[in-house]
Amino acid sequence: MITTTQLTKRYGGILAVDGVSLDVQPGDIYGFLGANGSGKTTTVRMVLGLVLATSGSVDLLGRRMPRAGRAVLPRVGALVEGPAAYGHLSGRANLALLDSSGTGGTRRTRSTRIDAVLEQVGLAAVGRRPVKAYSLGMRQRLGLAAALLRQPELLVLDEPTNGLDPQGIREIRELIQGLHRRGTTVFLSSHLLAEVEQLCTRVGVLDRGRLVLQDSLASLQRPTGRTVVHTPDYERAHVLLDGRVEHREGERLIVRGADPAALNALLVADGVRVRELGPERRTLEQVVLAATEHPDHQVGVS
């Protein structure tokens, strides 16, 4: 759905995006992670044809951007760096204006489509109020509604839960999951690890303009080949497992070996009490931090 090849953007002397090759497949919920200022938004803007790449290429829905924008962008819904609307007009009027500005949204179905998306994002009750009276969360929902208006095949969402309360975040998460089940591919850019971990099937990590990691969430979180054991008899366990214990933190032992069942049998047979035992998995946070570790811990310039 999105393929970029060695995508690079230079602003004067600053390399904002450096040789990024994204690969977003149909059916993905792709989590695009990166710290603020790592080049996420610039990449998203290049994908949508707003910013022109210095070098490299972008293919969106199989067509070269920005040339094919007219053909493919009607099939893409986007929320880029916060929502925007005309404050003096109502939410409904804003959606109608945007829909009538371009192709791919027939006039005949406009009003029913607007009703449907306002319902979807939970704004049905306030759709007729002027947008200037909306809260940040309501504006965010209106932005999402605009992105959904033409039932896009691909949703590009930049920080979609910005400004929402926990309840709102959950609703949006459920909305995205619902759309994904019905076949929409989602490209979600975020700096919130938890959001990506709960939602995404694939993850790309951008660090100072470079794509340092791109893999499915499942394989990033696959067992590490070690087992975590919690036991009050850690000293006996330590002796018993002689040399296999890699690390101990209080009653928590990290043991080499990927078979928790065998380890459990061994410990219990020797009278070691086991409180908790299981394969070690890395959290997304650990994966991302390992991939983006800077030798000098300085904030990058890009």
Residue with token string 């809260």: 135
CB of 69 to another protein, least distance (A): 5
- 241 within 8 A of 256, measured Cβ to Cβ: no
- The whole-angstrom separation of Cα 60 and Cα 24 is 10
CB of 81 to another protein, least distance (A): 8
- The whole-angstrom separation of Cα 258 and Cα 265 is 14
Position 298 contacts another protein (CB under 8 A): no
Helix 110-121 vs helix 91-101: angle between axes, to the nearest 10 degrees? 130
Position 59 contacts another protein (CB under 8 A): no
Position 233 contacts another protein (CB under 8 A): no
Single out the residue of 45, 92, 141, 208 in contact with another protein (rule: CB under 8 A): 45
Q: Which two tokens stand for residue 35?
A: 């710290």
Residue nearer to another protein on the CB measure, 83 or 127: 83
CB of 9 to another protein, least distance (A): 8
Nearest CA to 35 out of 272, 285, 296 is that of 285
Residue nearer to another protein on the CB measure, 76 or 114: 76
**Contact pattern from residue 68 through residue 87 relative to another protein, giving x for each residue in contact according to CB under 8 A and a dash for the rest:** -xx--xx-x-x-xxxxxxxx
Classify 171 in phi/psi space as left (phi over 0), alpha (psi -120 to 50) or beta.
Answer: alpha
User: SS3 for 110?
Assistant: helix
Single out the residue of 31, 34, 39, 49 in contact with another protein (rule: CB under 8 A): 49
- The whole-angstrom separation of Cα 74 and Cα 76 is 6
Position 169 contacts another protein (CB under 8 A): no
Nearest CA to 152 out of 226, 99, 73 is that of 73
CB of 48 to another protein, least distance (A): 5
**Contact pattern from residue 201 through residue 220 relative to another protein, giving x for each residue in contact according to CB under 8 A and a dash for the rest:** --------------------
Chain residues binding another protein by CB under 8 A are 45, 48-52, 69-70, 73-74, 76, 78, 80-89, 93, 97-98, 100-102, 146
